[in-house]
Amino acid sequence: MAHAIQTRSKLPLTAAGMTEPPAPGEFIEAAPGVLWMRFPLPFQLDHVNVYLIEDGDGFALLDTGIGNDATKEIWESAFANALKGIRLTRLIVSHHHPDHMGLAGWMCEKFDIPVHMTLAEFLTGKYLCSGPYADKGHFYSDFYRLHGTTEDQAEAVSGRGLAYLKIVTGLPDSFNSLDPARGLVLGGRRFEVLTGGGHSVDQAMLYCREEKLFLACDQIIERISPNVSVHAMEPNADPLGTFIRSLTDIKGVVAEDALTLSGHRLPIAAPHKRADELIEHHHQRCDQVMEIVGAGTKTAAEITPVLFRRELDAHQFSFAFSEALAHLNLLVEQGRLTWEEENGVQRVRAA
C-alpha cells in the first residue's frame, strides 16, 4: 500500500532482538507494518506503549498515551518527523484508563477519525469523563474508611474523580464497537477481537491468527503484573476471578509462541508461559492473604502494607489497597473468607 512510511513486507515475527524500547517520537517496526512507539508517564510505571497498524493507505492507531502536554508535544514532533506524511485511518482504544485513552478526544478531533472501543469501555470512559464524583469526594473516601484506612489515607483519595478529568481529553459522542463476534479487518489483516475484564471492565485485544501476532494491551505484560482493582463504583466486584478466567481464555485462542505486544514493557515471546506466571502469582497472593488473616480478623487496609512491603506513596497506596481488596473479594467469592462488620468497618475472617 502506498503511504509515507516504507514498511517491510516480511519481518521475522519474534520478540528476540526487541530488547530496547523505541526512543520518544521514534518507532520500531515490531511486526510487518506494525509500528511500536513509547510515551512517558508521570507515575512510577513511567511509560506506555502504543502501536500503529498498517490500514490501507494509512495506519490505525492503537491507544494514545496519557492526556497531557508532554505527550501532545511528542506526538506533534513525531508527525513532523518519524511519522511525517502518514494518514491516520482510525483510533482503537484498548481500555478507558488515562494512559491509553488520554488523548482520544484530541486525536479524533485533530485527524477527524472514528474511535473503536468495546461498548463497556466506551460507556465507562464517557461516564468518568462526565465527572460523576467531581463534587463528592466522600464517595471515594467513605469506601476507604469502610475498609479501615486512616483518615489521611481516606482524604488522599477524595480528589480521585477530578484527577481522571485532568489527564483525559474526552471521547467522541459516537463510536464503533469492537465486538468478538465481528472481528476487525485492518489493511490486509483479519484480527480476531478478544475482550477480557479484571484489569479494566472489558479490555479489547487483537489477534491475527495467520501471523500469530497478538496485541495483548494491558492483559498480559512482561515482568509486571497488571493492576487488578476493586473500586468504589462496584465494591463487591470480583475482578481477580474475572482476570484469571480471561488469562485462561486467552490461552485457548492465542498460540503459545505468538509474538505478543503489550501496553507496557517489552514484547513477549511466550504468552502462555507469562499468563501462567500471572495466574500463579495471584494464587500465591491469595495464600499469603489467608496466612495474614490467620485465626483473627483483618481489614483491607491492614492487609495492604503486609502484602505490598515496599514504601507506598498516596497514589501507590490506593493501587495497592484496591488490589488487596480484589484478593479479598475473590477469597470471599470462593468461600475461603467471610466479611463481618464492626463499628462501621469491614473485616475478613477465615470461613
Which residues would be at the binding site for Zn ion (CB under 5 A)? Answer: 99, 218, 263
| CB 156 to Zn ion: min, Å | 22
| CB 279 to Zn ion: min, Å | 19
Give residue 7's region: left, alpha or beta (phi > 0; psi -120 to 50). Answer: beta
Question: Of 48 and 146, which CB lies nearer to Zn ion in the complex structure?
Answer: 48
Q: What residues contact residue 149 under an 8 Å CB cut-off, 6+ apart? A: 301, 321
> How many CB atoms within 10 Å of residue 61?
27
Question: Of 86 and 217, which CB lies nearer to Zn ion in the complex structure?
Answer: 217
| CB 262 to Zn ion: min, Å | 9
| CB 221 to Zn ion: min, Å | 8
| CB 46 to Zn ion: min, Å | 12
Rounded alpha-carbon distances, angstroms, from residue 114 to 33, 63, 214, 316: 21, 13, 23, 34
Question: Of 25 and 102, which CB lies nearer to Zn ion in the complex structure?
Answer: 102
Question: Of 263 and 271, which CB lies nearer to Zn ion in the complex structure?
Answer: 263
Nearest 5°: CA angle at 123, between 119 and 126?
A: 140
Rounded alpha-carbon distances, angstroms, from residue 178 to 7, 35, 100, 103, 324: 26, 21, 16, 19, 31
Question: Of 55 and 99, which CB lies nearer to Zn ion in the complex structure?
Answer: 99
Question: Of 216 and 300, which CB lies nearer to Zn ion in the complex structure?
Answer: 216
- Which SS3 state, helix, strand or coil, does residue 320 take? helix
Q: How far apart are CA 103 and CA 204, in angstroms?
A: 18
| CB 264 to Zn ion: min, Å | 6
The sheet that has 337-342: what strands, in order across it?
A: 297-298, 345-350, 337-342
Q: Which amino acid is at 205?
A: M
Question: Of 50 and 171, which CB lies nearer to Zn ion in the complex structure?
Answer: 50
Cell of 165: 478529568
Cell of 289: 492473604
Cell numbers 526512543: residue:
23
Cell of 195: 475482550
Question: Of 54 and 99, which CB lies nearer to Zn ion in the complex structure?
Answer: 99
| CB 185 to Zn ion: min, Å | 26
Cell numbers 480476531: residue:
192
Question: Of 99 and 121, which CB lies nearer to Zn ion in the complex structure?
Answer: 99
Greatest alpha-carbon span in the chain: 68
| CB 218 to Zn ion: min, Å | 4
Strands (E), 146-277: 176-177, 184-186, 189-196, 203-208, 213-217, 259-262
| CB 200 to Zn ion: min, Å | 9
Phi, psi of 51 (to 5 degrees): -135, 145
